[in-house]
Structure 1
Amino acid sequence: MSEEFIYFLWQFQYFRNTDLRTIEGESLRVIHPGYRNPDAGPDFTHARLFIGDVEWVGTVEAHIRAADWLLHRHQYDRAYDNVILHIVWEKESIALKRSDGSAIPTLCLSERTDRALLQRYQTLLAESGDIPCAGQVTNVEPVRRTAMFDMALLQRLERKAAGVMALFHSTDLDWEETTYQLLAAAFGFQVNTEPFGQLSRQVPLKILQKHRDNLLQMEAILFGTAGLLGSEKPDEYEAELQREYRFLATKYQLLTKKMPSYSWKWSKLRPANFPTLRLAQFARLLTFKNSLFSALIQTDDSAVLLRHLKVTPGSYWQTHYRFGKTSDKVLATLGHTAAENLLINAIVPLLTAYSHYKDQPDYRERAIRLLEQVPAENNRVTRIWEQLGIPIRTAFDSQASIEVYKNYCQLKKCLSCQIGISLLK
């Protein structure tokens, strides 16, 4: 038994509610069960009940057993003084009181719950696969699955936007710097997200902007601060970068900010994803003459944005994936799939965050339209859903499916999921 199941029973009133009586023997009639509280405090707010002949408006708290109220020390917490009903699964004769000493009525749900409903819930929890309802999910009406995926996508956008807003405040409310740091982390493509993010914090954008007409100097600052100019016998190009770095790092006081080379991960990466090539591509992107932030938020045309992102680095990187090692066929230009990844993981969250900042929903709508234009990501999670017969066609679908998988299926929060609720019903 879990409290989530009790929340589900109470929220949807899935128990026999005729002739309701509290454990203390008082008659009970539910006018409104209240609204689930996602924050600290009682589990439901704004509930309306008749207990005896008196109408009560307040909060409702749920536990598996009455003793949990005491275990959680709610009797000393003034936030629980407005609790008008305590709902439990196990029946116990324990008198509960608020901090002022007044009694709290209790309702036991176990004796009023359909055992078949409980069995279906326990069956879901007992599933050991990636998705608890894998064997039943296609039995759910498509409109309910769609509604759940839509809700999950919005939740994902909001969570990512919150991260962008935190970054925005850390940059002293500078959208250009925020865009720069956000793109840098995205250029890490998960494996090197952290070192890319650290590098962008070590080298402020305003320094790089002074050299955006000189790609060599731009690369010198980035590669040098990244700790990637360490060859004992550098080739001609790396030696030139080293000379430029020593001068510019002294000028901008960057020597103490140099990262250790071991910050970067190379293992199991294909050459096209080596941090050196990604950093060269990033440097080229930063040579954009106008405001990169403005260019990225002023359109909902994915083709335009992808053209901005599919940059080609300097000539050295047409024949190198890393310093000192020449390659015949280098995929130097940022690939289409990689550009789509940047759009999904950087531009879409940026637009959503800016929508909140400006209080203009249109920017969030642009973000959603972009996701609808881009093909679905191909990864382990999306393949799981596809194998279950759930179509994942666009980035909107893939992002929603990832959110459902990570924050509902993996946590077995079936009773917070419209698909799980539908199956229990």
Structure 2
Amino acid sequence: MSEDFIYFLWQFQYFRTTDLRTVEGEAVRVIHPGFRNPDAGPDFTQARLFIGEVEWAGTVEAHVRAADWLVHRHQYDRAYDNVILHIVWDKDPVFLQRSDGTVIPTLCLSEWADVTLLQRYQTLLAESGVIPCAGRITTVEPVRLTAMFDTVLLKRLERKAAGVKVLYHRVDQDWEETTYQLLAAAFGFQVNTEPFAQLSRQVPLKILLKHRDNPMQLEAMLFGTAGLLNSEKPDEYEAVLQREYQFLAAKYQLLTRKLPAYSWKWSKLRPANFPTLRLAQLVKLLASTGSLFSYLIETSNSAVLLKQLQVTPSAYWQSHYRFGKTSEKVLATLGQTAAENLIVNAIVPLLMAYSHHKDWPDYRERAVGLLEQLPAENNRITRIWQGLNIPVRTAFDSQASIELYKMYCQSKKCLSCQIGVSLLK
């Protein structure tokens, strides 16, 4: 038995309510079970019910056993003085009191709940697959699947927007700098996200913008600070960058900000995803776009955004993946899938955060619209859902499916999922 199951029973009133009584023998009639409280304090707020002949309004607390109230020391917490009903599963001989000594009525749900509901829940939890309801999910009404995808997608976007807001305040409320650091981290494409993020913090956009008309100097500052200009016998181009870096690093006090070369990961990466090439592509994007922030938030057409993002770096990187190593076939231009990834993981969260900042729903709708325009991501999680015949066609679907899998399925939060709840009824 888990408290989650008790929350589920109480929230949806999935128990026999006829002649409902507390363990003390008082009649109970629920007017409203209250709202689930995601924060600290009692589990349900704004509940209304009759106990005996008296109407009560307040909070409701749930535990597996009545004694858990004492284990959690709620009797000493004034936040629980407003509890009007204690709901439990196991009936144990414990009579509870508030901090002022008044008795709290207790309702034992195991005496009123349908045992088959518990059996279905336990069967669901016992499933060993990565998706607990995999064997039955095709029986769920499409409208419920859609509703849950909508719910988790919004939660995912809100969480990402909150991260952007933290970044925005960290960079002194500068949207251009926020955009730059957000994009830079996204250019790491998971494997090198952290060193790209660190690099963008070490070389602020305001310094780079002073040299926007000279991409070679941008490369010098970024490659040098990244710790990637370290060849003892550099080729001609790297030697030029080394000299430029020494001059510019001294000018802008960048020498002490250099990242260790070992910060970057190369193992198991395709050459097209080497951090050197990704960094050269980022430089090209910075040099070819005026106000990145304004451009990105005001462009609602995914095709236009993709074209702008699919940059081709400087000539050197059209024949090299790494310094000093010439390659005949270099896929230098940022590919379509990579550009789509940047929109999903940087531009969409930026739009959501700006929508909150300005309280303009248009930007939120633009963010969702971009996800609906882009094709679904192809990864292990999306393939799991597709293997269950769940349609994952757009980036909206793939982002929702990833959120559902990571935040609900992996931890078996079936009782918080509309799909799981529908299978238990």
Q: Structure 1 length as normaliser, TM-score? A: 0.99
- The answer to whether 1:233 aligns with 2:237 is no
CA distance in 2, matches of 1:97, 1:365: 50
Higher mean Cα deviation, 281-290 or 28-37?
Answer: 281-290
1:275 aligned residue: 275
Map 1:14-163 onto structure 2 (within 5 A): 14-163=14-163
SS state at 1:65 partner: coil
Amino acid at match of 1:234: P
SS of residue in 2 equivalent to 1:23 = coil
Q: Which moved more, 1:321-330 or 1:283-292?
A: 283-292
Q: For residue 358 of structure 2, what is the aligned residue in structure 1? A: 358
1:352-391 correspondence to structure 2 within 5 Å: 352-391=352-391
Residue in 1 that maps onto 2:7: 7
Q: Percent identity?
A: 80
**Following the alignment from structure 2 to structure 1, what is the Cα–Cα distance between the partners of residues 106 and 289?**
67
**Displacement of 1:94 after TM fit?**
0.5
Q: Which amino acid aligns with 1:248?
A: L
In structure 2, the partner of 1:346 is 346
Equivalent residue number for residue 252 of structure 1: 252
For structure 1, the residue ranges without an aligned partner over 5 or more in a row are none
In 2, are the aligned partners of 1:414 and 1:421 still within 8 Å (CA)?
yes
The Cα of 1:288 is off from its aligned counterpart by 3.0
Task: State how 1:184-333 maps to structure 2 within 5 Å.
Answer: 184-333=184-333
Equivalent pair of 1:212/1:289 in contact (CA under 8 Å):
no
Structure 2 SS opposite 1:46: strand
Structure 2 SS opposite 1:201: helix
1:199-232 Cα distance to aligned partner (Å, 9 max, x none): 0011110000001100110000000000001111
Give distance in 2, aligned partners of 1:288 and 1:413.
46
Instruction: State the alpha-carbon separation in 2 of the partners of residues 84 and 60 from structure 1.
Output: 6
Check the 8 A contact 1:156/1:403 in 2, yes or no.
Answer: yes
Query: What is the rounded CA distance, in whole Å, between the counterparts of 1:299 and 1:325 in structure 2?
Result: 38
Which SS does the other structure have where 2:293 is aligned?
A: helix
Aligned to 2:288, the other structure's residue is in SS state coil
Q: What's the offset of the Cα at 1:98?
A: 1.0
Q: Distance in 1 between matches of 2:278 and 2:223?
A: 11
Once residues 101 and 241 of structure 1 are traced to their aligned partners in structure 2, the CA distance between those partners, rounded to angstroms, is 76
SS at match of 2:48: strand
Residue 170 (structure 2) pairs with residue 170 (structure 1)? yes
Q: Any idea what SS the aligned residue of 1:287 has? A: helix
- Aligned-pair CA distance for 1:246: 0.5
Give the aligned residue type for 2:249.
A
- Cα root mean square deviation, aligned: 0.6
Per-residue deviation, 1:18? 0.8
TM-score between the two structures when normalised by the length of structure 2: 0.99
Aligned counterparts of 1:84 and 1:276: Cα–Cα separation in 2? 63
Q: Is this contact kept in 2: 1:217–1:241, CA < 8 A? A: yes
Q: CA deviation at 1:63?
A: 0.4
1:360-398 CA distance string (max 9 Å, x none): 011000000000000000000000000000010000000
Runs of 4+, deviation exceeding 2 Å: none
How much has 1:301 moved relative to structure 2? 0.4
How far off its partner does 1:289 sit?
4.4
Distance in 1 (alpha carbons) for counterparts of 2:176 and 2:308: 16
